[in-house]
């Protein structure tokens, strides 16, 4: 496995300092000012502009899973019906109750989310895996194969769907592809987030992250 050096920095210092101090000490990410003429997205009634031009969908009911997909892809092509169908298929294949994969208010299971994206032609990869060490503790391992900075330059990468406790969000590239930002439908807009902070949440098991990319077309 390839491990980003920033993770090593975080792990070595997290016992002595709060992570906020670590992030401030390592680097900072400045907000980008985007020209209004560069708006390439449809900002519908449930969406908001961030930094003057970016797509951000706000929370409705328990549709955070759908919002996280829309915010990651910056479009609304995937629909509630698509997720409902994926949930139905997951329930049928597993023999589970449909309620285990789709709540009446709209919250979808992680399996439903992944299945829906894969059916739509996206490749999904778990960002962090785990293994139990000899002392019984759990070790979290970076599973992407590239650093966060390498991912910025990879045009096949959209970003990450984040499964937080009882909530879905996403971590995506800024419009200029130079930085990362966190999009949470509970917030009024997407927020620039240092990749160190994102990786800390994932490598301490707080967030369950899934890398979303384009499927390479065969020639």
DSSP sequence for 35-86? PGGG--S---TTEEEETTTEEEEPP-TT-HHHHHHHHHHTS--S-HHHHHHH
Q: DSSP state, 143?
A: -
Has domain 1-27+123-219 been given CATH number 3.90.70?
A: yes
Q: Where are the domains of the chain?
A: 1-27+123-219
Helix (H) or strand (E) holding 208: strand 208-214
| Percent of the chain whose pLDDT exceeds 70 | 74
Residue 46 has pLDDT above 70, yes or no: no
By CB neighbour count within 10 A (0-12 exposed, 13-18 middle, 19+ buried), where does 88 fall? middle
What's the pLDDT score for residue 217? Answer: 56
Q: What is the mean pLDDT of residues 89-117?
A: 92
| Percent of the chain whose pLDDT exceeds 90 | 65
* DSSP assignment string, 158-182: EEEEEEETTEEEEEEE-TTSSSEEE
Q: How confident is the model at residue 120 (pLDDT cuts 50, 70, 90)?
A: very high
Per residue in 63-95, pLDDT tens?
A: 999 999 999 999 999 999 999 999 999 999 989
């Amino acid at each position: 496995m390839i491990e980003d050096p920033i993770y090593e920095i975080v792990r070595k210092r997290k016992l002595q300092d709060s992570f906020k101090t670590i992030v401030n000490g390592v680097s900072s990410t400045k907000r980008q000012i985007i020209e209004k003429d560069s708006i390439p997205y449809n900002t519908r009634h449930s969406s908001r502009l961030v930094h003057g031009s970016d797509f951000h969908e706000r929370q409705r009911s328990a549709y955070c899973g759908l919002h996280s997909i829309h915010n990651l892809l910056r479009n609304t092509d995937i629909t509630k019906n698509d997720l409902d169908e994926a949930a139905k298929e997951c329930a049928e294949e597993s023999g589970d109750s449909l309620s285990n994969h789709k709540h009446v208010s709209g919250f979808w299971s992680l399996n439903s989310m992944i299945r829906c994206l894969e059916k739509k032609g996206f490749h999904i990869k778990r960002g962090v895996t785990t293994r139990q060490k000899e002392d019984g503790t759990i070790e979290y391992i970076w599973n992407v194969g590239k650093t966060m900075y390498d991912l910025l330059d990879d045009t096949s990468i959209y970003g990450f769907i984040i499964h937080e406790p009882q909530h879905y969000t996403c971590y995506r590239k800024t419009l200029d592809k130079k930085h990362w930002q966190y999009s949470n439908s509970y917030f009024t807009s997407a927020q620039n987030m240092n990749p160190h902070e994102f990786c800390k949440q994932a490598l301490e098991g707080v967030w369950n992250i899934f890398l979303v990319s384009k499927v390479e077309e065969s020639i």
